[in-house]
Each structure stands twice: as C-alpha cells, then as structure tokens.
Amino acid sequence: MRRRLSVVLPPLVVALGALLAWESVVRVFQVPRFILPAPSVIAEAAWADRERLLAGAAQTAMASGGGFLLAVAIGVAAGSVLGSSRLLQRGFYPLALLFQMVPLVAIAPLLVIWLGYGLRSTTAAACIVSVFPVLASTLDGMRGTDPGLREIFGIHRAGRVARWWKLELPASIPSIVTGSRVAAGLAVIGAVVGEFVSGYAGQTAPLGIVVTSSMREARTDLVFAAVALSACVGFALFGMTSAAGWLLLRRWHASAD
C-alpha cells in the first residue's frame, strides 16, 4: 500500500499544485477566457459539452488506436526484414527514415485525395507518424541479439524463420515495447492532425474537428478540454502498451519490474 502511494502520490500532488497555481494566476490577473481559461472554467465547459467531447474522443481513439496497431504491425515486420540483411538495411533504411521526416501537415491533404475523408485517412496519418519508432526499435533489437545465441542456432542449423521466431523476435521485444511507447503518443498527434483536414464533422466529430471549430468560436475552454481528452487517449494507448509489454516480459526480462 505504502509503495503504491509513493508511486501515485507525487504526480498527483504536482498536478494538483499546477492546477491550483493556474487557477490562481487566471483569477488574480483576470486573464480573459479567450486567452487562458481557468481549469474550473474548462471543467465546466467540458461537462456541459460532454456528449460531443466523448463522441469525439471515441473517434480519435479509433483512429489513433488503429493507426498505432498498424504501425506496430508494419514496423515490426519491416524492422525484421531489414534486420535480416545488411544489404536490405542499407537500401531501405533511408527510405524508412523518410517517414520520420515527412511533415504530416503537408501530406495530410494528399491522404484525403488518396484515401478519402474520414477514418481511413486519419488512421493512415496516425500510422505514418508512429511507424518509424517501432521500425527503428525492432531493427535495434534484431541487431542486438546475443551473438553467442546466434552461433548456437547456427550450429543447430536453424532455418531463417525459426531463428527469427525463436531468437531474434523475442530478443527484440524489450526494445519494441520501448519504441511502441513512443509511437503511442505520436499516433494520437498524427490522428488529430489528420482530423484537421479529413475528419468528419457533425455530431460525432473527432477531437481535431472540435479543436478547429472551437477555435473559430473563440472557445478556448473547449479547445483545452479537447486537448486534455486527446492526451487521455494518448495516456490510455501508452498504458495499454506498457501493460502488454509487462505481460510479455514479466517472466524473463528485468525491464518488466
């Protein structure tokens, strides 16, 4: 119990202190709501618009979750293929690096033309920005496989697939989990940016659309509420990734402690 408290309490105290300071500054200096609303005003606005915000969060969660899963699948597959051959790695790694460099804002309008409006485009946007950390971490894991174990697999004439499945992939899991944690946060950013240009509006508009429409109406309180909710989606993805990592690693790897 005491150990749990020591984990939960510090961030809670810091968050509460920050919120109190924020509330006080806004009240004392009478900062207009359209510049910086107080946390209590944001909470009030979020409660009043809870249905729209929750529907939006569900849409954003679908896009970022879908994009994230795709990114993990593509990143692990591509990382494994590149990790299996120096030649392939030299040829394709710079191309993979391009995904990291691509300014999503610039290509998001193209995604709409290629994939149409809605979930397909926003999922693709989430995938594009989050695939590289998974790919790079998979590649690192593959490269870092114990040479001694590789030799043993060679002595036993293990095939390429068996070597990957039984040695390289398990050895890569700790770094894949680390890369996936980074990708989880990026996926939400990608989804929201994608929604700016391709999300469906209306009653179930995703959080990206809630942000743009609230901005137009000078509803900074709702912008903050939508941003806070998208951060919650990111925390949820991060938490699920960490939980999956713990389940996979708890029996054999120190990082699960």
Partner 1 sequence: MAPILRSAATRMAIVGALVAALVSLAASCSDPSGSQQAGLRKVRIQLNWVPEPEFGGLYAAVQDGLMRQAGFEVEIIKDTGGTAVPQLIAQGVCDLGFISGDQILTLREQGGDLVAVFNVFDITPYGFMVHAADAPESIEAVWKGPGTLACESGLPAIKLMQAKYGPSGRKLVPWAGATANFLADPTLAVQCFITSEPPLMDLQKVPVKVFRISEAGYNPYTEVLAMRRGGMDDATLRRFMTAHQEGWRRYLAEPARYNPAIAALNPAMSLEAMNLGAERMREFLVTPWTRAHGLGSMDPRRWQAMVDALSELGVIRVRPDPASLMHWVLDPPTADTVVTPSGQPG
Among 14, 21, 73, 215, binds partner 1 (CB under 8 A): 215
The nearer residue to partner 1, 168 or 195, going by C-beta atoms, is 195
Contact letters (x/-) for partner 1, 181-200, by CB under 8 A? --------------xxxxxx
The nearer residue to partner 1, 172 or 214, going by C-beta atoms, is 214
Q: Are 217 and 66 in contact (CB under 8 A)?
A: no
Q: How many CA atoms lie within 13 A of 207 on its CB side?
A: 31
Dist. CA 41–CA 32, nearest whole Å: 11
Among 213, 242, 248, 249, binds partner 1 (CB under 8 A): 213
Q: Find the part of the chain contacting partner 1 (CB under 8 A) among 21-29, 157-165, 209-217, 249-257.
A: 209-217
CA 242 to centroid of chain Cα atoms: 12
Q: Interface residues for partner 1 in 63-122 (CB under 8 A)?
A: 109, 112-113, 117-118
Taking CB under 8 A as the rule, does residue 20 contact partner 1?
no
DSSP codes of every residue in 61-108: HHHHHHHHHHHHHHHHHHHHHHHT-HHHHHHHHHHHHHHHHS-HHHHH
Q: CA nearest 199: which of 110, 116, 99?
A: 116
Rg (CA), the chain: 22
At 236, list the tokens.
Answer: 């949820």
The nearer residue to partner 1, 31 or 158, going by C-beta atoms, is 31
Among 156, 157, 216, 251, binds partner 1 (CB under 8 A): 216
The nearer residue to partner 1, 114 or 235, going by C-beta atoms, is 114
Q: Interface residues for partner 1 in 30-59 (CB under 8 A)?
A: 32-35
Among 209, 225, 229, 237, binds partner 1 (CB under 8 A): 209
Residue 221 belongs to what H/E stretch? helix 220-249
Contact letters (x/-) for partner 1, 234-253, by CB under 8 A? --------------------
How many residues belong to the site for partner 1 (CB under 8 A)?
28
Cβ–Cβ contacts within 10 Å for residue 57, how many?
20
At 176, list the tokens.
Answer: 């894949």
Given the rule CB under 8 A, which residues bind partner 1? 32-35, 109, 112-113, 117-118, 195-202, 205, 209, 212-220
